[in-house]
């Protein structure tokens, strides 16, 4: 069982685009704010890391630093290590699915921000819904970006 401050998230995004095109967009984190409204800002600190600001529905912003742990275009896997308001890891795995692709998201993090830790028990259901809404918006944004041809950046 996870502790009160630990979270495990998964999402499955079905997309009408070739897997390599989806991977190409997902590997460019600095462009996430263009298509994912809840990713408020990304500042790269080199090719393998940077800082980000994230805010979904709840009235607080998470600040994180991320480093690439694995970038494998052949396998279409991206994995990062996170620190800051949350610590842990996140992974995208992109696979063919019919005429398009499926992007599988997995994340395990621990809340480090004091407010999140204090509200861990009563706030957990709200934090989970907040994350779910963020992921849904991300999927909509990525679908729109792929239709616009954002992968050509």
pLDDT band at 2 (very low <50, low <70, confident <90, very high): confident
Between CA 5 and CA 72 the distance in angstroms is 30
Residue 1 lies in a domain: no
In a domain, 13, yes or no: yes
Average pLDDT of the segment spanning 14-26 = 98
Distance CA 48, CA 130 (A): 28
* Mean per-residue pLDDT of the chain: 95
Task: Report residue 1 as tokens.
Answer: 């069982």
For 65-97, the pLDDT digits (tens) are: 999 999 999 999 999 999 999 999 999 999 999
What CATH number is associated with residue 97?
3.30.530.20
Residue 84: C-alpha distances to residues 47, 78, 149, 152 (Å): 19, 20, 33, 31
Given pLDDT bands bounded at 50, 70 and 90, which one contains residue 35? very high
pLDDT digits 0-9 by tens, 114-127 = 999 999 999 999 99
Sorting pLDDT into bands at 50, 70 and 90, what band is 153?
Answer: very low
pTM exceeds 0.85: yes
Instruction: Look at the chain and report how many structural domains it folds into.
Output: 1
Model pLDDT for residues 39-72, shown as the tens digit of each residue:
999 999 988 999 999 999 999 999 999 999 999 9
Tokens of 21: 């095109």
Full residue range of the structural domain in which residue 87 is found: 6-152
């Amino acid at each position: 069982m996870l502790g009160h401050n630990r979270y495990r998230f998964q999402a499955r995004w079905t997309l009408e685009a070739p897997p390599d095109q989806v991977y190409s967009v997902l590997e460019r984190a600095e462009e996430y704010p263009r298509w994912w409204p809840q990713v408020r800002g990304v500042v790269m600190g080199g090719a393998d890391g940077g800082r980000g600001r994230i805010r979904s529905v709840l009235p607080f912003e998470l600040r994180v630093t991320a480093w690439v742990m694995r970038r494998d275009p052949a396998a279409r896997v991206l994995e990062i290590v996170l620190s800051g308001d949350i610590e842990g890891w996140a992974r995208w795995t992109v696979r063919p699915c019919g005429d398009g692709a499926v992007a599988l998201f997995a994340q395990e993090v621990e809340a480090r921000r004091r407010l999140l830790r204090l509200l861990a028990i009563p706030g957990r259901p709200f934090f989970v819904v907040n994350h779910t809404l963020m992921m849904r918006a991300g999927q909509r944004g990525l679908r729109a970006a792929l239709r616009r041809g954002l992968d050509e950046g």
